[in-house]
Structure formats: structure tokens, C-alpha cells
Amino acid sequence: MGVRLFIAIEITDAVREKVLHFQNDLKKASADVKWVAPENLHITLKFIGNTDEEKICGIVDVIHQSVIEIKPFDIRYSGAGTFPAGKYPRVIFAGAVDSSGALASIYERLNRHLTALGVPYDEHTFEAHITVGRVKTHKNIKKLMECVHSYKEFTFGQESIDHLVLMKSNLTREGPIYTRISNICFA
């Protein structure tokens, strides 16, 4: 039986509150957006997808190997934007800045090592962010984008990162339900 997995960084409650304030401001634009539930706000470091349950231990081992010699580091949550940038966005996000470069290094290691377990290598450049919502149509998009741009310089907070989380995602009609499978702490 397969499970849908991803590797994440959870955010603090203080950061979550500020991101929710941003999300609530965006909702005032009455745009057609599927909003991320408050409890589901996080940074996705690597999406693994549907995987056989018997591979979970191997995935946890790969995560451990990918964070060897990584020391805790700080992330500053700052700015907001969309993917793609421009007038036809699909994803609205709050930015995450890792000036140490540790996240990009961990991502590259995960990306490389997980291929041995059949996880496809992702060619995209990693951009740390918290997805806030997914744009469904372009209804009221101009008003929505004005609000996003008003948060361009906003700081949502900062936190020290000392572990990664392997998460399971169950897709339901009400939205995804995330379950923590394993915490993988840095050395």
C-alpha cells in the first residue's frame, strides 16, 4: 500500500500567526484561491510522492545521511510573492530566507540520495517558501496581487532550524491531512 510523503520544516506558532494575518488580508480581495489550512503551513523541502510503506525506513536513513554535519541554523521569514511572478500566479507564498545556505545544501543532498530509492531527481532550483494559497481562477486577481505586493518587505519572524520532519499526506475532500512520521534532528 502506498503513502504520499514529503520532507518538511515546521514553522513556529509565532510565525504561523503572522502568516495567518497575511492570509486573512489576502482573503479580503475575494479572489478564487484555495487557502492552506493554518495547521498545514510549512516549508516543503522535498516532495517524495506516493511511496511503498516499506521504503519509509530507507527514506528516514537518507534524511539522516543528508543532515550529517549540519548544525542548527536560522531562517528569517520575510517577503511575499507568487509562482510564477507576474499577472497569472498559481501559488501565493510567504518567503523564507536562509542566509547560511544550509537549506539549499540539504535539499541537494536529499535530491541526489533519494534517487537510489526511486524518487525522481528534481531539476528545479529550490526556493524556500511557505505556500499560503493556490490561485484557482483570475477572479479579482489585481486586488489580490496588490495585497501580496504590500507584504513584499514584511517580516513574519525568525526561527532556529534543528530538525526536519518526514510527513505523510492524506488527501481528502476537505483538504490534505498531514501526519508526522519521523523527526530527524541535526547532529
Taking phi over 0 as left and psi of -120 to 50 as alpha, with beta for the rest, 174 belongs to alpha
Q: Out of 129, 138, 149, 163, which one is annotated catalytic? A: 129
Active site annotation includes 64: no
Nearest to 4 by CA among 185, 184, 183, 181: 181
**Is residue 129 flagged as an active site residue?**
yes
State the catalytic residue, choosing from 21, 42, 113, 124.
Answer: 42
Block residue for cell numbers 519509509: 56
What DSSP designation does 40 have?
G
Nearest-angstrom CA–CA distance, 123 and 130: 20
Alpha-carbon torsion, ordered 60, 64, 70, 75, to 10 deg: 10
User: Catalytic residues, which ones?
Assistant: 42, 129
